[in-house]
Chain A
């Protein structure tokens, strides 16, 4: 086509870049039909322009200089936070001034909001990263000792150095408690979620409402419930089992809710196709619904696990404190990682506090590992996993073929070797 319309104004607006005074802005060239116009150069719609970058940098530097002048000559500004705040405000003001020199009010607003939104995001991410770095940094003292991962605190007093004692008891406790909780919540949770989707009706709507209400249950109240029933009424000792029950009560609604959402995403047509082929409801669920939503279900289980493993308050009321390794969930107290952190930092001793931070680093690592697994599984669509299966099958096929070829060559060799003799 030979007709081109140049409209630079709209392309500028599209990417939020602006210059009020552009000589070509008012020129619209319409080429007559049939005339050769050559190849139209590709216009870049995004990216950063040098002018914008310079005005941001300029404003930042100017604000810095101005703040120093203010701090030393005009008014005393004490502390890093105050200095930063004054610098930031000056920066925003100067930047607005710079942009307003050659842009209209609309564009000044646009630029200011962009700067504000970006700095809010940078602030949040840096605070969150700082929280993690701070915790790991304070715990770094305790982390290099191998004993930290292999010993319990049974023989280590508050005054002992970090080379004695560790958090093996808490790691074991956390793993045992979460394992029991998962043994309770996975079958119940998945069955309930399947029920909500497969047998719709008034009763299942009621169940869904109650489950949704229960996601609001504060975790401490779940702990209080198990404390009052299992421990005080039924005489269960403060133990790993009681803690697992409390975690289960907390995790169950979370898991059911997310599993329910995942199951609802299974295309109705797939189910109908299966039923249309004569499969029973059970066969449909087993062969179509669950495999289709497998990655989503796994993700919901793992995310609920991450919540359960990091929750302190239900465990605080139900598991009891101990400094020794205990692998029997039925009796005597069993400590878990979050509770161990809580216990360690109550002590005024610096080594105990370092242990607490080290334990926090271990806990975060555990949550991170769970999260990464969830991401990998969650990113797997049925299509992708099928492709992986095919790749595996192809690889093994190739492997088997190669092996066959090799054996046949070997056999031929031996035959050849035998023949002359």
Chain B
């Protein structure tokens, strides 16, 4: 009996195909080259500064590259503090809004709200910066004072140099703080986080939802037992992507904070710092060494956002979200 042996398939490509493949391959390669160039140039220039500063780059708080005394201890801590405040603001807001859009909003309103959220994600950050600087700066002072008055004993929420119980004390100590910058950045990243969470929540299998409801679950019980476990990956991933955006945010932070180059653990107090704002502040007056130092700071920031983003994509990919049951 004759058996059919696997045949070798040869692909004969005509001229246009060869050109086409060549062109798109070139496109992909050019993109790769640009991206690798950015990364390696950053690394190369940063290495000069890192060589000079050594390990003190991670422990030094001051930023005087021309005197050979510079480090990112203060700015990195500042960046992380601002991003933390931002996420504390953004997480409940976006979780609630995403749930509202997918579960509670009237059906006719849903697609409209989705458009609004997506549109808000496209609002330029400088607009939020304007709002933060001209409105929130003043409006938040009583809140800051109240928090420092009653919760000042918690480390990080105290304010030095002013007695919070004294009603006549100066209020300038509460402006330009990590807290305000964090709130602005938080509101800025909320639409993006909301949009990711909503996307994942809306993919919850209808069968499981209806199963829970048919078993007599209330709406909240259904959400807690079906939607939230299903959307867990989306919640974590979306939050991490928002965190990545918050870490790299420049202009809104730059407009609000008054930069300091010491570690400022009191988030309610005047004076904050962030890597991106440092670059925006110092790029102009930089010497060769100063620029390398800024590159090193930029590289540190990039490494952080990179880890956060990759973490987010791994979490989203591993979770059940997106897979139908």
A: residues with CB less than 8 A from B are 9-10, 13-14, 16, 18, 78-79, 81-82, 106-107, 109-110, 113-114, 116-121, 123-125, 127-128, 131-132, 134-135, 138, 187-192, 194-196, 198-199, 203-204, 206-207, 210-222, 224-225, 227-229, 232, 249, 252-253, 256, 280-283, 285, 303, 306-307, 309-313, 316-317, 338, 341-342, 345, 353, 356-357, 360, 363-364, 367-368, 370-371, 375
29 A-B pairs in the complex with CB atoms less than 8 angstroms apart: A18-B218, A82-B146, A109-B218, A110-B218, A113-B223, A114-B104, A117-B99, A120-B95, A124-B94, A125-B116, A192-B24, A198-B24, A199-B21, A212-B313, A213-B309, A214-B35, A217-B38, A218-B302, A218-B305, A221-B248, A221-B299, A225-B38, A228-B41, A280-B14, A310-B122, A312-B251, A342-B255, A345-B130, A345-B134
A341 touches B309 (CB 8 A): no
Most buried by A among B124, B146, B194, B306: B124
Closest 7 CB pairs of A and B: A191-B27, A310-B124, A120-B96, A218-B248, A121-B100, A195-B28, A282-B20
Complex CA–CA separation, A375 to B119 (angstroms): 10
**Does any Cβ of A come within 8 Å of B150's Cβ?**
no
| Extra contacts besides A195-B28, A198-B24, A371-B122 (6): CB < 8 Å | A127-B187, A131-B187, A134-B134, A213-B309, A313-B276, A371-B119
Most buried by B among A192, A213, A252: A192
- Tell me which of B27, B248, B250, B276 contacts A188 (CB under 8 A): B27
Identify the closest chain B residue to A372 (Cβ).
B119
List chain A residues, Cβ under 8 A from B294: 224
Complex CA–CA separation, A283 to B19 (angstroms): 12
Interface residues of chain A: helix, strand, loop or mixed (majority): helix
B220 touches A113 (CB 8 A): yes
Complex CA–CA separation, A317 to B280 (angstroms): 7
Please judge, given known A-B contacts A280-B16, A310-B124, A338-B124, whether A120 and B97 are in contact too, CB under 8 Å. yes
B280 touches A220 (CB 8 A): yes
Complex CA–CA separation, A162 to B92 (angstroms): 42
**Does any Cβ of A come within 8 Å of B101's Cβ?**
yes
B: residues with CB less than 8 A from A are 13-14, 16-17, 19-21, 23-32, 34-36, 38-39, 41-42, 45, 92-97, 99-101, 103-105, 113, 115-116, 118-120, 122-128, 130-131, 133-135, 139, 142-143, 146, 187, 190-191, 194, 213-214, 216-221, 223, 244, 247-251, 255, 276, 279-280, 283, 291, 294-295, 298-299, 301-302, 305-306, 308-310, 313
B306 touches A228 (CB 8 A): no
B216 touches A9 (CB 8 A): yes
Complex CA–CA separation, A207 to B279 (angstroms): 29
Least Cβ–Cβ distance between A75 and chain B, in angstroms? 13
B214 touches A10 (CB 8 A): yes
- Tell me which of B24, B94, B95, B251 contacts A194 (CB under 8 A): B24
A82 touches B142 (CB 8 A): yes
- Tell me which of A125, A224, A303 contacts B122 (CB under 8 A): A303
List chain A residues, Cβ under 8 A from B280: 220, 313, 316-317
Complex CA–CA separation, A185 to B302 (angstroms): 22
Complex CA–CA separation, A317 to B191 (angstroms): 27
Please judge, given known A-B contacts A114-B220, A303-B122, whether A281 and B17 are in contact too, CB under 8 Å. yes
Complex CA–CA separation, A373 to B220 (angstroms): 37
List chain A residues, Cβ under 8 A from B135: 134
